[in-house]
Amino acid sequence: MNWIAHIFLSEYNINFQIANYLADPLKGRIWEKANENIKKGMSTHKKIDAYTDSHEKFKKSKNRLGEKGLLKAVVMDLTYDYLLTKNWNKFCNIPQKEFLDTFHYNAKKELKNIPQEASFYLKRLIEHEILHQYNSLEELQIAFNRVDYKLSSRLKSRDNCSRYLNIVEKNIEGIEEDFLLFFPQLCFEIKKSLDKTKIDHWKI
């Protein structure tokens, strides 16, 4: 799963949400003096990724992209964020724009309380409003391009995300079917380790 899903699949606490996002760019490194919500958010990120990568429906979605491809998992993570956005009202009690705007507002206030490396990634996420850019297949293409821009020339010569867009478009109905079966199961699994009183934004 990608960033929107990780922020959603958190206790409704800004430090928890921030850590669930930052675990990806920081590669799970927890900084010194991090509070318990930061630690729990990082841990939850790892649980989400492990469950997702091993799930039969996520694997089925990747296989819809073809037999080979180094970046199929990345492409599917981004596509599932698009599908979460599309189906937001099935899963969240808070309207999507309100949820993301509140995250941006609270995260901006926390920038001064986290290390420079972490604040760099968080500030970029906020300033470019990246979380608001998964509302269409056209915006999904932009997300693919954003990943491709960061690829090494060596990896880019072997694969890139942008080449998958047409394949995703042709298979989007099947991929969405996979997602709608998978995501409630992911929520159920992650809920086991969360404080149930702090996930009132979840509908399931």
Model pLDDT for residues 145-185, shown as the tens digit of each residue: 999 999 999 999 999 999 999 999 999 999 999 999 999 99
Domain assignment present for residue 7? The answer is no
Task: Evaluate if residue 88 carries a pLDDT over 90.
Answer: yes
How many domains does the chain contain in total?
1
Report the alpha-carbon distance of residue 172 to residue 175 in Å, rounded.
5
Per the listing, tokens 């995703």 go with 168
For residue 155, being part of any structural domain is answered with: yes
Judge whether 25 lies within some domain.
no
108 in any annotated domain: yes
Is 37 contained in some domain?
no
Q: Which domain holds residue 183?
A: 50-198
Query: Is there a domain that residue 138 lies in?
Result: yes
Q: Is 123 helix (H, G, I), strand (E, B) or coil?
A: helix
The mean of the pLDDT values for the chain is 96
Q: What's the length of the chain?
A: 204
Within-domain flag for 66: yes
Give the tens place of pLDDT for each residue, 24-39: 999 989 998 899 999 9
Q: Provide the whole-model pTM.
A: 0.95
CA 125/CA 142 separation, integer angstroms = 15
Is residue 111 a part of any domain in this protein?
A: yes
